[in-house]
Chain A
Amino acid sequence: QAEGQPQWRSGADLYNNVCGYCHKPEVGVGTVLQGRELPVEYLKIMVRNGFNAMPAFPASYVDDAALGELSKYLASLPPLPPRPTPPPAKA
């Protein structure tokens, strides 16, 4: 990116091009994030450390400013019920 330009165009841009590929409700690799009012501090801890199946992202990939925008964008989306419980085991 050009010097001084924001790394991601907006919170939506970051969500649509990175996080959403796993976290959008229709995907379901990761848990639903939208409309949950997750604090930016929490998002930052998860993104920087990674968490079990979720990889980590260095600031060179997703910087703090972008995480702030992401947090606002997620809060602006309507909350959804958690993804449907998978069918029970039929052993």
Chain B
Amino acid sequence: MSEPTNAVLPRGVTQEAFGKALEKFRALLGDANVLVRSEQLVPYNKIMMPVENAAHAPSAALTATTVEQIQGIVKICNEHRIPIYPISTGRNFGYGSAAPVQRGQIILDLKKMNKIIKIDAEMCYALVEPGVTYGQLYNHIQENKLPVMLSFSAPSAIAGPVGNTMDRGVGYTPYGEHFMMQCGMEVVLANGDVYRTGMGGVPGSNTWQIFKWGYGPTLDGMFTQANYGICTKMGFWLMPKPPVFKPFEIIFENEEDIVEIVDLLRPLRMSGTIPNSVVIASTLWEAGSAHLTRAQYISEPGHTPDSVIKQMQKDTGMGAWNLYAALYGTREQVDVNWKIVTDAFGKLGKGRIVTAEEAGDKQPFKYRAELMSGVPNLQEFGLYNWRGGGGSMWFAPVSEARGSECRKQAALAKRILHKHGLDYVAEFIVAPRDMHHVIDVLYNRTDAEETRRADTCFNELLDEFEKEGYAVYRVNTRFQERVARSYGPVKRDVEHAIKRALDPNNVLAPGRCGIDLDTYRKA
């Protein structure tokens, strides 16, 4: 039997207690599913955050495939006060990846728990286990010629619906607000109980994936971005595959155009004329996803000068803002809405419309069209090559979908990023009323000085946005405690009261979203 070799222990847990827990985990799961050697754990420790790996090193990892095993694991955790950090597919790049929020936590890796329990092609829903990936679902749908389509984040093929939805991630189709389209959840609670939300608790029920709320308090939301339970099954609705899909792009020349773009787009999103989560990508996001790199244009340190960006626009035809959207439905529906869209943007007198026919197989149009129709690709990982070196954090403030607000946020972010020698690489993901203003804080993590700058920069972005009343919708594990403070003390008190009630031993991912009974003190 292999002994731990990475010399990391969970916080407040003695070597002896840890050893006893490991023995019990082995008896429960078998040796092969209890990982303690450093070479087994190093893959979980790959992070893109500006901090050394040790800060988020796990003490061990467990792989489980059944609800009963997970119940057994939480029992052992309670006996020895072992904190565990559950992951599903663990592809949370820019938000902490697969590494635990606190050093020493044991990773509960559910990747191998990967059954597609059901896809109902008439009622259009899926019920899946945590390890199911979008790639796996996509292949299943294709092989069985099911008339449904997926929605997913850009890491698509290798990411999965449970993990993404537990962090309330987003996609690019009309079903792009993933938590909104989620229906029915099963969680193992810290006391070992198996709780099903919505209609799931009713014996013989066939409406778990049909009606969200059930009866009484509806708790699905309480489990997302939280540490109150371990999700072991999740249902979600699927969009029926439409007869016609018409992706398009509109390219705008100037940074200031964002005001008119957003104000023109909002009514089209609000009315459902454009039904999907539209994106408006900045030049450098567009460049990164088209696989241009900074080194092709400039080698000087610091932020990429505006003159260089203008030159890139000129060379490539990319705009200051690059809007991607799509229409869905019958030919007639698409034609009617296409006229409304082209008329609206035609009146604006700026913006060059590009259709799929014009774009052909050209990138980044192609990958955008695929994401907007649920076809997986990883083209957008080109962003990580812009500066290279493995440094990336998402700074994703929420904004009104109001032009003046978007301009204000973009200018504020750009000023702070430039101060620290980094670039404004961003897109707005557009809902009818809100924007996920997604900014990729890209830096070279192999450069210690640049890494320190990135860390300071992220702190300052949070601080300065907070002064204007803005906060992020999601954040990497290094900043989860910090961001919890943005939302005020009353919310945190409530969250910790719930934590005490459901997980008195603080064994489920303490620190996740700032919820931790050991460190939190009521203000």
A residues within 8 A CB of B131?
Answer: 60
Q: Could you give, for residues 387-412 of chain B, a 1 whenever the CB lies within 8 Å of some chain A CB and a 0 otherwise?
A: 01110000000000000000000000
Compute how far the CA of A60 lies from the CA of B44 in the bound complex, rounded to whole angstroms: 10
Q: Pick from B111, B139, B293, B379: contact of A60, CB below 8 A.
A: B111
Interface-forming stretch among B89-97, B172-180, B222-230, B495-503?
B89-97
From 30 to 51 in chain A, residues with beta carbon under 8 angstroms from any chain B beta carbon are 47-51
Residue B270 lies at the interface, judged by CB distance under 8 Å to chain A = no
| Contact, CB under 8 Å: A89 / B298 | yes
Residue of B93, B384, B389, B445 most packed against chain A (CB within 10 A): B384
| Contact, CB under 8 Å: B390 / A53 | yes
CB distance from A40 to the nearest CB of B (A): 15
| Contact, CB under 8 Å: B311 / A55 | no
Chain B residues with a Cβ closer than 8 Å to the other chain, count: 47
A residues within 8 A CB of B390?
Answer: 50-54
A residues within 8 A CB of B448?
Answer: none
CB distance from A88 to the nearest CB of B (A): 7
Compute how far the CA of A61 lies from the CA of B157 in the bound complex, rounded to whole angstroms: 13
Residue B446 lies at the interface, judged by CB distance under 8 Å to chain A = yes
Compute how far the CA of A60 lies from the CA of B131 in the bound complex, rounded to whole angstroms: 10
B residues within 8 A CB of A58?
Answer: 40, 43-44, 61, 90, 98, 109, 111
| Contact, CB under 8 Å: A55 / B46 | yes
Residue B382 lies at the interface, judged by CB distance under 8 Å to chain A = yes
Compute how far the CA of A40 lies from the CA of B316 in the bound complex, rounded to whole angstroms: 39
From 110 to 140 in chain B, residues with beta carbon under 8 angstroms from any chain A beta carbon are 111-112, 114, 131, 135, 139
Residue B153 lies at the interface, judged by CB distance under 8 Å to chain A = no
A residues within 8 A CB of B63?
Answer: 60
Known contacts A21-B157, A27-B378, A60-B63; A90 and B43 CB within 8 A of each other = no
Residue B158 lies at the interface, judged by CB distance under 8 Å to chain A = yes
| Contact, CB under 8 Å: A21 / B378 | yes
| Contact, CB under 8 Å: A29 / B298 | no
CB-nearest residue of chain A to B111: A60
Compute how far the CA of A43 lies from the CA of B43 in the bound complex, rounded to whole angstroms: 13
Q: Pick from A1, A21, A86: contact of B296, CB below 8 A.
A: A86
| Contact, CB under 8 Å: B388 / A91 | no
CB-nearest residue of chain A to B445: A52
Closest 8 pairs between A and B when the two form their complex, measured CB to CB: A50-B46, A56-B46, A53-B384, A56-B43, A21-B378, A52-B390, A58-B43, A60-B111
Binding site for A on B (CB under 8 A): 35, 39-40, 42-46, 61, 63, 89-91, 93, 97-98, 109, 111-112, 114, 131, 135, 139, 157-158, 291-293, 296-298, 308, 311, 315, 376-379, 381-382, 384-385, 388-390, 445-446
Binding site for B on A (CB under 8 A): 1, 17-18, 21-22, 27-29, 47-61, 86-91
